[in-house]
Amino acid sequence: MIIKYSNTSGKARYLVEFSIDGIRYRKKGFETKSDAKHWEDHERVRVRSGGIKVDRQTTLSEYLDWWHESFIVTDPGDGKIYKRKSGRKYRNANRVRNKQHIEKIKSIIGGVKLVRLNGDHGHKLEQVLRKTKDNPNGMASSSIRGMQFMLKGALSDGVKERKLDRNPLQYVVVAEKDEKQSKPHSFSVEDAQNVLECIVGLEDRRWSVFFILALKTGMRKGEIAALTWADIHLDGNVSYLKINKSVDWSEGENKPQIKSPKTIQSKRMVALSADTAQELKLYRAWQAKKWLELGREFDENSILFFGDNFQLVSKSVPQHRWEQVVKKSGVSKLSLHKLRHTFATFTLNHTGDIRLVRKLLGHSNVKTTEIYVDERPELELEAKMLSAMEVKYSGGDRGGALLKKS
């Protein structure tokens, strides 16, 4: 339907409105009826063909916006999984990252028409974005590689779904990997011991236990944040914990959501050393006492690590607490995630079994595990291993003021 109307200045304008499958499409402000009719015809074709009609005028920006928004959401209660008919699927965290990639791509080559897109445009991303002495705020090659792979994949989806005749970037060589840095991404035995001593001395017991689990089990931050007491088994001769879920912060810093782990292999059981099990027992008693004092019901479904209003913790809280630990310990600054690398390095040197390390970390591919491991010649089998670091924990109430801002 095309409707003629007058705008605020009295000039004649045309409005288009139509419905397809119960969805209304509407646009106003056309100067002529023929312009309005042309838009209606173009929009009907676009909608009927799956969201975009690629022609000689279609730009890369328009295509990528369509591609990003045309994924179908499945399993909304499981961290959101996005998929498309051609087979590609990813979680919400990848969707957020892809949107960031798309915005950078659009700022550099977004105005290029698809019919003119070629390999030079793919390489231009690397030329403009790579971090160099002249461009200190640029991106690492690994980030650029991820962006280029996403772009090539988006265009390949267009070919599979018959939006494009070919992928103009199919044979583009992506950015080369940075040379392996000599700086280690795991702690030495001595530094790990110093860090551990600072961890157990934290006033707020939540974060001492959080970091002990990261250091002594290699769990991901999201996996630790999702733990409930039903996942912890401390009775009998062997103590262990089950990993079957994770926290996803991709919707925002203060909007944590529970999801299933990254891969099938991520669902696993991890044995706990005697001292780690002891610390968990003390922590359980402390948490139960505090929750009951504050009128909060405590049971097997209670989460171990909680923020305001006893809800899941915000993303930055563990990281902020970790930075305080590193500063106090005086060791070289490494991120919280590097505790996972430290566990991998120490375990491999202790066992010599990379496949065992892969299972403990929940990796689907041993090549990923190899990236996590540092070459540390000082770590020998008879060396003082992390798993043998026994710390005498006091049973005192060192939880601090529970209601301080967490």
365 and 261 within one domain: yes
Model pLDDT, residue 75: 62
Number of alpha carbons in the 13 Å side-chain half-sphere of residue 293: 9
Last residue of a domain, one of 127, 159, 179: 179
101 and 207 within one domain: no
314 and 242 within one domain: yes
Q: What is the CATH number of the domain that holds 3?
A: 3.30.160
What is the SS3 assignment for 261-291?
A: CCCHHHCEEEECCHHHHHHHHHHHHHHHHHH
Q: How many domains does the chain have?
A: 3
63 and 111 within one domain: yes
Q: Average the pLDDT over 134-155 and give the result.
A: 89
321-375 tens-digit pLDDT: 999 999 988 888 888 999 999 999 888 888 888 999 999 999 988 888 888 887 6
281 and 221 within one domain: yes
- 396 inside domain: no
Q: To which H or E segment does residue 126 belong?
A: helix 119-129
Q: What is the CATH number of the domain that holds 170?
A: 1.10.150.130
382 and 337 within one domain: yes
- 150 inside domain: yes
Q: Where are the alpha helices (DSSP H) in 294-382?
A: 316-329, 338-351, 354-361, 366-372
85 vs 18, more confident: 18
Structure tokens at 272: 């706990």
| Amino acid residing at 34 | S
224 vs 197, more confident: 224
184-209 tens-digit pLDDT: 678 888 888 888 888 887 888 899 99
Indicate the pTM of the whole model: 0.65
Structure tokens at 260: 């299933």
- 400 inside domain: no
Phi-psi sector, 49: left (phi>0), alpha (psi -120 to 50), beta: alpha
132 and 117 within one domain: yes
Lowest mean pLDDT among 4-8, 248-252, 283-287, 312-316: 248-252
**Alpha carbon of 60 to those of 84, 153, 395: distances in Å?**
19, 13, 62
Last residue of a domain, one of 151, 179, 207: 179
Q: Average the pLDDT over 108-127 and give the result.
A: 92
Q: To which H or E segment does residue 83 belong?
A: strand 81-83
Neighbours of 77 (CB within 10 A): 8
- 193 inside domain: yes
332 and 208 within one domain: yes
Confidence grade of residue 242 (pLDDT, cut at 50, 70, 90)? very high
Q: What is the CATH number of the domain that holds 243?
A: 1.10.443.10
- 402 inside domain: no
Q: Average the pLDDT over 66-94 and give the result.
A: 76
**In this structure, which long-range contacts are made by residues 194-197, counting pairs with CB atoms below 8 Å and at least 24 apart in sequence?**
194/329, 194/330, 194/331, 195/325, 195/326, 195/329, 195/331, 196/389, 196/391, 197/329, 197/391
Integer Cα distance of 226 and 257 in angstroms: 9
- 75 inside domain: yes
211 and 340 within one domain: yes
- 404 inside domain: no
- 62 inside domain: yes
Residue 394 has pLDDT above 50, yes or no: no
Model pLDDT, residue 90: 81
Confidence grade of residue 404 (pLDDT, cut at 50, 70, 90)? very low
62 and 9 within one domain: no
Residue 113 is classified by DSSP as B
350 and 201 within one domain: yes
Residue 386 has pLDDT above 60, yes or no: no
Residue ranges making up the domain that contains 122: 54-179
81 and 41 within one domain: no
